[in-house]
Each structure stands twice: as structure tokens, then as C-alpha cells.
């Protein structure tokens, strides 16, 4: 028999009395990913441990195993295993002067592109994870919660890889988060990226529609990777070549990728499959070529996010300029072909 619904905030157990706890999701918790829900519950617990108890099946949703990305709905019953949670004093100790100073430094490198009472949209720099994890104390979300303590609610709407820069959306209201997640699920958002790829990408007459099934797996050390696999999940990227550039020892291509689906590492794996890996990709790229042309970063930048404002219904188009590292890299190459204007719309 299920316990009565309880939408009250979870109360941390003392460190001396860990026990199994069943929590029924109320309207305020509905719409969250399971991992985000647990990270807020398990204050003071290492994030690596939170993900470990999900993968091991110790955390269950309606008595079934679940993925970190599982969306919780009102009425779901979540089994929370025995975990020693930090006392309030321990949590407060984490926000030391050193941590706050580091957060301010990160915040200074993360310009705000748009903000109102529902949304906060930032220009994420390369090298900064969107959230902390194993070996990472501060990500975007932790940085903003420390530097913007007046915000009672702040959650990531979506994610970007650590080494990808650009437009990142966060919600300041639960209702805004739920609505933005609905738009993403139903394909009502427009997410576009600029990238630099090795070699000359042959586009042909129109926009390339890349549709490779992707399978996610773990390396022996627990690192997440993705490969093209006939049994994988469907994925779709629309790729448009902007210009091809060449010098004596190398050729590179500037292109725009539009996400039609949002699989993990989707653009990176699609370009690898084409034989034109993204410059500076340490997971799916060409290490020798990157050394040859002295790649300084992953050359993938989320330059545009289009969506409907969750409160006003206004059509929004938030853009981030091409990073200086892109223009600097391209300055060492001579333009062979300029395919089209960078503002041209991609085909559906």
C-alpha cells in the first residue's frame, strides 16, 4: 500500500540514524530529474555516491530501477536508501571563504545574456561543468547558488558538456522549469551550435541530415561514452557548412549544427562518424591532428537558443557571439569556400 502523498520538503535525517525512506512526489517536486531531486535531498553526500546508488538500484521509483534522467511525476514513490546526510553545520562549512571566492571568479567569466523573474540565461565558458561531481567542487549551478543567494529556486533547464561553451538556460521558478522541459520534450525549442571540424566536410546541395542511432556506455573507469550502434536510440542533427579553410598542413570546416534530438554527446559523435571530428575533442577526436594545429579547447559553442517564454508566451531568441578562440584559430587558415551566411535558417 502506497503512503499518503507528501509534498512537504524532505527532512534530513541525522548522521546517527540512516534508514530507508519512502517519499511520495508532490506537485512542487514534479518535473525534476531523479538525479537533481536526489542531489538536493542528499546535502553533504558526494555526487559520485548519489549517482552510484542510482546505478546500483538502491534508489527506486515505484519499486522499479530508474535512470538519473528519469522525470519524476506527482504521485511517484521514491525509495531513498540509508545515506548519512550532513548536518546543517556541515553544509554551512562547505561555503567557506575560499569556495565563495572561487565561485565569484567563475561568475565573473559567465556573462548574463538574459534575466527576468522566471529565467536566468548565461554564457557558459568552456572548461566549466554545469554542475559539480566527482572531482569537481563547483559547477555553474553551485556557482550561481553561492553568488545569487537571494534566489530561492534555481535549476538547470538543460545541460552542456563541460568543454562546450555558450547559451545555458536556468529556471528561477518551478513552473518555468516544468514548462521549459515540456517544450524540450515536444521538440518546440531550437538549439544551434557553431563548430570547427577537421577536414573538408562535403555538404552537397542542401543541409545534411545526420541520423545515427546512439548507444551510451561506460568505460571500465566509469567514464561515460557514446557510440553509433544499430540498437541505439534514434538521434538527428541538421548540419550546415558555413566555410572551409585551408593551410599547408591542414583543412578545417566551420559549420552550424541544429539539434533535432538531444542525446548525450550527439553532435560530437555524429561528426566523428562523418570522419570529421570536432577540433579539440579529447573523447571522440583526432589527437595527432589536434596537436598539429595546436587546438586549445573543444571547438563547440552553443550560439543560439530559441523557445517560447514560459510565462509571457513571447518567442525568444537568445544568442551568444562566436568565442575569440574560434576566430583566432580560423585566422591561421585561408578561406576556400564560403558556403552561406551564418544567419540562414536550417531546413527542417
| SS3 at position 286 | coil
Sequence-ordered list of residues with C-beta below 8 angstroms from that of 263, at least 6 positions apart, any chain: 214, 216, 226, 233, 235
Yes or no: say if 228 and 273 are a contact pair by the CB < 8 Å rule. yes
* DSSP one-letter code for 270: H
Options 35, 76, 116, 161, the catalytic residue? 161
CA distances from 17 to 3, 21, 141 (A): 21, 12, 30
How far apart are the C-alpha atoms of 312 and 315, rounded to whole Å?
9
How far apart are the C-alpha atoms of 166 and 162, rounded to whole Å?
11
Taking the CA atoms of 298, 303, 308 and 313 in sequence, report the sign of the dihedral they define: positive
Paired sense of beta strands 334-338 and 237-247, if any: antiparallel
| SS3 at position 188 | coil
Taking the CA atoms of 54, 57, 61 and 65 in sequence, report the sign of the dihedral they define: positive
Yes or no: say if 170 and 123 are a contact pair by the CB < 8 Å rule. no
- The partner residues of 335 in beta bridges, in order of sequence, read 245
How far apart are the C-alpha atoms of 242 and 251, rounded to whole Å?
14
Active site residue 161: yes
How far apart are the C-alpha atoms of 233 and 144, rounded to whole Å?
33
Active site residues: 161
Amino acid at each position: 500500500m502506497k503512503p499518503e502523498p507528501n509534498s512537504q520538503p524532505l527532512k534530513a535525517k541525522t548522521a546517527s540514524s540512516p534508514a530507508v525512506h519512502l517519499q511520495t512526489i508532490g506537485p512542487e517536486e514534479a518535473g525534476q530529474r531523479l538525479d537533481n531531486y536526489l542531489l538536493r535531498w542528499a546535502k553533504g553526500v558526494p555526487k559520485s555516491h548519489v549517482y552510484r546508488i542510482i546505478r546500483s538500484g538502491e534508489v527506486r521509483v515505484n519499486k522499479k530501477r530508474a535512470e538519473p534522467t528519469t522525470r519524476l511525476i506527482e504521485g511517484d514513490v521514491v525509495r531513498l536508501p540509508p545515506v548519512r546526510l550532513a548536518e546543517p553545520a556541515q553544509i554551512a562549512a562547505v561555503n567557506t571563504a575560499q569556495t565563495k571566492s572561487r565561485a565569484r571568479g567563475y561568475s565573473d567569466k559567465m556573462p548574463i545574456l538574459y534575466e527576468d523573474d522566471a529565467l536566468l540565461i548565461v554564457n557558459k565558458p568552456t572548461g566549466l561543468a554545469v554542475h559539480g561531481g566527482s572531482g569537481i567542487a563547483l559547477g555553474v549551478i553551485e556557482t550561481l547558488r553561492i553568488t545569487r543567494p537571494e534566489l530561492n529556486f534555481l535549476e538547470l533547464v538543460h545541460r552542456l558538456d563541460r568543454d562546450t561553451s555558450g547559451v545555458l538556460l536556468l529556471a528561477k521558478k518551478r513552473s518555468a522549469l516544468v514548462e521549459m522541459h515540456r517544450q524540450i520534450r515536444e521538440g518546440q525549442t531550437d538549439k544551434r551550435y557553431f563548430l570547427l571540424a577537421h577536414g573538408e566536410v562535403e555538404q552537397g546541395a542542401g543541409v545534411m541530415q545526420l541520423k545515427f542511432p546512439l548507444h551510451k556506455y561506460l568505460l571500465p573507469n566509469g567514464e561515460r561514452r557514446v557510440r553509433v550502434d544499430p540498437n541505439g536510440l534514434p538521434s538527428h542533427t541538421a548540419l550546415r557548412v558555413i566555410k572551409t579553410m585551408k593551410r599547408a598542413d591542414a583543412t578545417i570546416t566551420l559549420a552550424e549544427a541544429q539539434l533535432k534530438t538531444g542525446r548525450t554527446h550527439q553532435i560530437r559523435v555524429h561528426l566523428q562518424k562523418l570522419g570529421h571530428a570536432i577540433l579539440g575533442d579529447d573523447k571522440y577526436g583526432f589527437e595527432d591532428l589536434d596537436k598539429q594545429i595546436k587546438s586549445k579547447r573543444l571547438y563547440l559553442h552553443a550560439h543560439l537558443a530559441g523557445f517560447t517564454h514560459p510565462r509571457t508566451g513571447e518567442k525568444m531568441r537568445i544568442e551568444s557571439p562566436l568565442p575569440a578562440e574560434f576566430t583566432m584559430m580560423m585566422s591561421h587558415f585561408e578561406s576556400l569556400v564560403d558556403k552561406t551566411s551564418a544567419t540562414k535558417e536550417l531546413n527542417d
